[in-house]
A = this chain, B = another copy of it.
Amino acid sequence: MQGKMMQMPLRIIDILQYASEVHPDGEVVSARVEGDIHRETYVQAFERSAQLAHGLKGLGIGDGDRVATLAWNGYRHFELYYAISGMGAVCHTINPRLSAEQMLYIIGHAEDQILFTDLTFVPILEALADQLPSGLKFVAMTDRAHMPESKLDLLCYEELLDGQPLRYDWPLIDENEASGLCYTSGTTGHPKGALYSHRSTVLHALMSAVSVPKSLNEGARILPVVPMFHVNSWGLPYSAPLTGASLIMPGPHLDGASLFDLMENELVTASWGVPTVWMGLRAEMAARDAVPASLTQLVVGGSAAAREMIEFFEGKGIDVCHAWGMTEMSPLGTQAQVSKSMQDLPKDVQIDYKSKQGRRVFGVDLKIVDEEGKRLPHDGEAVGELFVRGNAVVSGYFNNEEASAAAMDAEGWFGTGDVAHIDKQGFLSLQDRSKDLIKSGGEWISSIDLENIALGHPKVSNCAVIAIAHPKWEERPLLVVVPADPADPPVLSELHDMMLEHVARWQLPDDMVFAEALPLTATGKVSKLTLRKTYGDHVLPDAAG
C-alpha cells in the first residue's frame, strides 16, 4: 500500500531558493581572478542564477545539454552550478590540471555545447583551439572591462546576465534527471564520467549537513579549498547554503599564506581540503606562530591524513575531521569525528580514531569482501576490497558500458578500488588502493601505513612508498623521501626504528631515495603512477646482492 503523501522532486535549485529566503544574509565571498574580493548574498546569487539561466536559454541551451566549466572556486562558478542544473541542463566541471589529451577527450565525450572559463584558463583553451569541437561556444567569466584579447570567440559572462529578469520559472523536472558531470582524474586509462542527478545531489547535501554539523551550520563560514572542478567541491556549494553557512571562495590562491590571510580576514570557521593543502597551511602557521582566529574545524580527505598532521592541528585547538570519499560517491563516504562518549578516552586513542577514515555517513552502506566477493567481518582485522552502496553513489559511468560493467558487483554495489578493514566501532581504515598495495611473498604491505609513520620524523617533509619489482619476493617497498633540509636528510635505520614500533620487520622499506618534491595528480594527490615510472628501475640493495 502506498502512502498518501505529495511527490515533490528533490531539486538543486530549491536549495538556493531556500537559502535566499531563510538565510538571506548568508554570503558567497570570493577572492577573484581579477584580484579583488567580491561579496554577494544568497539572495543576490539566486537572482543572478535566474539571469544566467535566461542567458543560457538565449544561447540555445535546453534539457540535458552539457554546459562545461573550467574555473576556480568563485561566485560565478557557484551561479553556474545552480543556473545550469536549475534549468534542466547538466553542469560539466572540467579539471584544468588534466592533460591536453584528457581535456579534449572529456569535452568530446561529454558533447559540451558551451564552455565557461576563468581568465586564467583562456591560454589553455587557445592552445587547444584547433582540436576543440567546432560548434563549441566560449564564455569568459568576467565583465566587459576585463575581457582579454583572444583568438577565441569569447562571450562575456556579465553581458549574458545584463538586463535579464531576476526570476526564472525553474522547471519541475524529475528528480532523477542528470544535473552534473565530473570525470575521474583518469590515472588508469581514459577518464570516466560520474553523472549526478538532482536527487543524488540534494540527498548528499542533506547527508553531509547531518554528518558534519560542526562545519555546516547557520552562521558558519566555510572555505572550500577543494575545487569546484573536482566532485563539486565535496558538495559544499550545496550543503553550505542548505544549512545557512557562508562560502568563502579562495579563487586561484591556494598556498598557505593566502589561505591563512583569507581565513583571518573573513572569519573562516571551517575549511575543507586535501592533505597537501593543510601541509601548506601548517607551514604558514608555524612560520607565523599563529592560528587563524575563528577556525574551529579542518576537514581533510582525498588522501590519507597523517597522524602527525592531525596531532599538529588538534594541538592548536582545531578539530580535524578526516573523511574518505570518491568522485563516484558525490563524494562523502565516511567521517572520523569521535563521538561524545569517546571524548573521555585518552587524547592519544582519540587521535588513533581520527587517523582512520571513519564511520559511514547516513545513506552510505559499506562492505568489504575477499577475492571471491564473500563478505568479511567488521572486526578491525579482516582486510578486503571495499564496496559501497547509496543514493549518492554512481550506478555506472556516463556513456561507458565497459567501465560501468567493470565497476559494479553482482549485488549492484560499486567497487571502490580501495582495500580496507572496518573495526567493531564501524571505523574504516584504508590500507591502500588495490593498485598501490605492495605484494611481498604472497602477503600485503600497506604503503599508507609506512608513509604515515615516516611523516612523523622531523627530517621528513613529505614521502611516498611504492612497490619495486623483486626477483624473490615479487614486490618490495621503496621509500621516496622529500627531506625537510636537503643538507641534513634522515637516515633509513632511524626510520626503520620508528616503523618497527608499528609494523613487522619484513614490512620495512628495503631502500630510501631522496626527491626534491613529489609529483601530484590533477586532483593534488601524490601520483604513485609517476613515481613507479620514475623509480621502476631502482635496484634494491638485497635484490642486487
Give the B-binding residues of A (Cβ under 8 A).
1-8, 10, 14-15, 18, 21-25, 63-64, 90, 174, 176-179, 194-200, 206-207, 209-210, 213, 217-219, 242-244, 337, 339-341, 359-360, 362-363, 389-398, 404, 412, 414, 425-426
In the complex, which of the residues B64, B196, B209, B360 contacts A210, with contact meaning CB atoms closer than 8 Å? B209
Contact A25 B340 (CB under 8 A): yes
Copies per complex of this chain = 2
Q: In the complex where A21-B426, A210-B210 touch, is A3 in contact with B179 (Cβ < 8 A)?
A: yes
Contact A197 B394 (CB under 8 A): no
Which residues of chain B have C-beta atoms less than 8 A from A7's C-beta?
Answer: 176, 391, 395
Contact A210 B243 (CB under 8 A): yes
Which residues of chain B have C-beta atoms less than 8 A from A90's C-beta?
Answer: 1
Q: In the complex where A1-B90, A176-B3 touch, is A8 in contact with B389 (Cβ < 8 A)?
A: yes
Which residues of chain B have C-beta atoms less than 8 A from A414's C-beta?
Answer: 6
In the complex, which of the residues B8, B25, B63, B394 contacts A5, with contact meaning CB atoms closer than 8 Å? B394
In the complex, which of the residues B18, B360, B362, B390 contacts A6, with contact meaning CB atoms closer than 8 Å? B390
Q: Which residue of B lies closest to A175 (CB)?
A: B3
In the complex, which of the residues B2, B63, B213 contacts A176, with contact meaning CB atoms closer than 8 Å? B2
Which residues of chain B have C-beta atoms less than 8 A from A5's C-beta?
Answer: 176, 195-197, 199-200, 391-395
Minimal beta-carbon separation of A422 from chain B (angstroms): 10
Contact A393 B6 (CB under 8 A): yes
Given contacts A3-B200, A14-B363, 4 further A-B contacts (CB under 8 A): A4-B178, A18-B360, A206-B210, A209-B210
Minimal beta-carbon separation of A4 from chain B (angstroms): 4
Complexed CA–CA distance, A179 and B337 (Å): 32
Contact A396 B219 (CB under 8 A): no
Complexed CA–CA distance, A371 and B360 (Å): 50
Contact A195 B360 (CB under 8 A): no
Complexed CA–CA distance, A392 and B200 (Å): 18
8 contacts between A and B (CB under 8 A): A2-B197, A4-B197, A8-B363, A8-B391, A22-B339, A23-B339, A206-B206, A213-B217
Complexed CA–CA distance, A177 and B5 (Å): 10
Which residues of chain B have C-beta atoms less than 8 A from A23's C-beta?
Answer: 339
Which residues of chain B have C-beta atoms less than 8 A from A243's C-beta?
Answer: 210, 213
Which residues of chain B have C-beta atoms less than 8 A from A218's C-beta?
Answer: 213, 337, 339-340
Which residues of chain B have C-beta atoms less than 8 A from A394's C-beta?
Answer: 4-6
Minimal beta-carbon separation of A10 from chain B (angstroms): 8
Minimal beta-carbon separation of A412 from chain B (angstroms): 7
Q: Which residue of B lies closest to A340 (CB)?
A: B219
Complexed CA–CA distance, A511 and B15 (Å): 49
In the complex, which of the residues B1, B25, B197, B337 contacts A64, with contact meaning CB atoms closer than 8 Å? B1
Contact A22 B426 (CB under 8 A): yes
In the complex, which of the residues B195, B217, B337, B412 contacts A4, with contact meaning CB atoms closer than 8 Å? B195
Minimal beta-carbon separation of A239 from chain B (angstroms): 9
Complexed CA–CA distance, A340 and B245 (Å): 10
